[in-house]
Amino acid sequence: MKRETYAAIDIGSNAIRLLIDYAETYNDNRTEFKQTAFVRVPIRLGDDVFLRSHVAENKIEALCDAMQGFSSLFRAFAVRDYRACATSAMREAANGADIIERIRLRSGIDVEIIDGVQEAETIFDAGGLGSVIDRDKSYFYVDVGGGSTEVVIYASGGKIDAQSFALGTVRILTGAAREQEWHRFGEWLSAAAEKWRPSGIIASGGNINKAHKLLDKRSKECISDKELRKLRKRLEALSLEERMERYSMNSSRAEVIVPALTIFTTAVERCGIESIFVPKLGLADGIVRQLYKRYNP
């Protein structure tokens, strides 16, 4: 058995995530990815960016501190290679380039700002989703983040189209989600669903993972559209404190879960879908798998 260690950093609008995985390849050429470390730091960059177009100094310092810690973990775990990607908030931050340079000087970590389509493709193409769906059917992959929602259409055994929408949990909470973007999201989904007749939605993101857990779903068990709508209404009726206490959520998750489920239920309704599959793979998982493929073509 051969073991290699890879790391991924996802600098999102709601939080910063570090994933370190062992990629273990066995004699029968089977490869398994095993999480050995996961760190989530709730630095909400989107709060600043979506209201004031730049990241405040205190959050830049917190981000640089986190990245310095991640750099130390790379050495401690003997990481072979890493990739650090920044998404929606950093794409829109007027001082994004300056922040990336400060991170590099403080931690030695190079950060890439990726666009929404790159983000969706990394999660979908490198996230192992092709192994869990029927290649003869069509699916809509929907990832809801803090600043944006990415949608990939999978049909005829491959990716047909991908779109990014400026709709995300932090963007909604700050009042920065525009009505015309909601309209564009709904109209695009309706037209795409009419054309491709998807068999289901593949959903990703921390909030849908949490919803899957709250509904006591088993590993590969789908969420029905009715279950998702009922859960959203139940959570929406509760205060932030009640969500935290009743469902063991931290404050960061309790704040964003209702906006996230609003986006997912909109997608479900527009597509006329009755089931949502939750593989629990995200951008960091996709990055790790891409790194592995780079060294093991």
**Do 276 and 288 belong to one domain?**
no
Number of domains in the chain: 2
Query: Within a 10 A sphere around the Cβ of 227, how many other Cβ atoms?
Result: 17
Give per-residue pLDDT as tens, 155-177: 877 788 989 999 999 999 999 99
**Do 185 and 106 belong to one domain?**
no
The residue ranges of the chain whose pLDDT is under 70 are 124-133
Secondary structure string (H, E, C) spanning the chain: CEEEEEEEEEECCCCEEEEEEEEEECCCCCEEEEEEEEEEECCCHHHHHHHHCCCCHHHHHHHHHHHHHHHHHHHHCCCCEEEEEECHHHHHCCCHHHHHHHHHHHHCCCEEECCHHHHHHHHHHHCCHHHCCCCCCCEEEEEECCCCEEEEEEECCEEEEEEEECCCHHHHHCCCCCHHHHHHHHHHHHHHHHHHCCCEEEEECHHHHHHHHHCCCCCCCCEEHHHHHHHHHHHHCCCHHHHHHHHCCCHHHHHHHHHHHHHHHHHHHHHCCCEEECCCCCHHHHHHHHHHHHHCC
**Do 201 and 80 belong to one domain?**
no
Distance CA 250, CA 254 (A): 6
**Do 195 and 90 belong to one domain?**
no
**Do 273 and 288 belong to one domain?**
no
CA dist list (Å): 79 to 32, 51, 292: 17, 37, 12
In a domain, 126, yes or no: no
**Do 180 and 270 belong to one domain?**
yes
Supply the pLDDT for residue 117.
80
In a domain, 124, yes or no: no
In a domain, 123, yes or no: no
In a domain, 27, yes or no: yes
Q: In what order do the strands lie in the sheet with 16-25?
A: 31-41, 16-25, 2-11, 81-86, 111-113
Supply the pLDDT for residue 129.
62
Supply the pLDDT for residue 136.
82
Q: In terms of residue numbers, what domain contains 226? A: 131-280
**Do 276 and 289 belong to one domain?**
no
**Do 51 and 158 belong to one domain?**
no
Supply the pLDDT for residue 126.
58
CATH of the domain at 63: 3.30.420.40
Please indicate, yes or no, whether the overall pTM of this predicted structure exceeds 0.75.
yes
**Do 26 and 14 belong to one domain?**
yes
Residues linked to residue 32 through DSSP beta bridges, in sequence order: 24
Supply the pLDDT for residue 15.
94
**Do 226 and 97 belong to one domain?**
no
Distance CA 123, CA 66 (A): 23
CATH of the domain at 257: 3.30.420.150
Taking the mean position of all CA atoms in its chain, how far away is CA 70? 19
In a domain, 238, yes or no: yes
**Do 102 and 243 belong to one domain?**
no
**Do 249 and 159 belong to one domain?**
yes
